[in-house]
Amino acid sequence: MLPIYVVDAFTDKTFKGNPAAVCLTPGPLDDDQMQSIAAEMNLSETAFLFPYQDGYSLRWFTPNTEVDLCGHATLASAHILWEKEMLTVDQQANFYTKSGLLTAIKSGSWIQLNFPMEPEIACSCPSELIEALQITPIYVGRNRLDYLIEIESEDVLKNLKPNFSLLEKVQTRGIIVTSKSVEFDFISRCFFPALGVNEDPVTGSAHCCLAPYWSNKLKKNELYAYQASARGGILKITIKNDRIMMAGQAVTVIKSELLISK
């Protein structure tokens, strides 16, 4: 049996933020086994971690594929390591991933992740995006992972009703839509139909693109962000050189065990 937890990330309230499953294993599992577990959990991400070098190996799976970078499941993993006292509160969490070494530190009730910057460059907008979102973009850019689209206002953003069948045809991991905000520096929504996740509640990895974009636009290195999904989530972001310091809170909602067939 393997311990598994469901953690709501980027929130301090249950049933808000973005839920991720965290599966602790003594060693690596087969890829097919991890994919089957992720499909069974049916959350946007399931994280698998086991002790490795001076930290933990960490991989992330959606219900239908592995991904190279995930913020909320990394935050959830760090939260479990401290909650289960596998790390002391003053220890740094080191995660070895397909995106290199990612680290986390605990500061009171907040966890700060150290992630790579993933800046976008301006590009043309596929016609399917315009049709699927029914928007007039202010700006369209793309990085190695996603499209980034700025639109006119947070009211328009909050009321988007995407055509996910059309969005799924766009050749990209995901679509990040963002705007200025009155209460926050910026807000966003993130859509990943190609990964089997129509709308992700709170997307840490998207802020690796959003943060440098809004930092350049607002001329500030400390940002207060909100992802305006139905569940919602808050991030505090600091940019240091080419790294994104992304802070959020987390709460455990389920503690269980997996019965693994031989």
Closest of 58, 68, 63 to residue 36, by C-alpha: 63
Q: Is 45 a catalytic residue?
A: yes
Closest of 174, 226, 239, 157 to residue 11, by C-alpha: 226
CA distance 21 to 39: 11
Q: C-alpha distances in angstroms, 100 versus 27, 58, 116?
A: 19, 10, 9
Contact 39, 26 (CB under 8 A): no
- 78 three-state secondary structure: helix
The DSSP symbol for 151 reads: -
CA distance 61 to 66: 4
Of the candidates 40, 45, 150, 257, the residue annotated as catalytic is 45
CA distance 202 to 162: 17
CA distance 178 to 216: 14
Residues with active-site annotation: 45
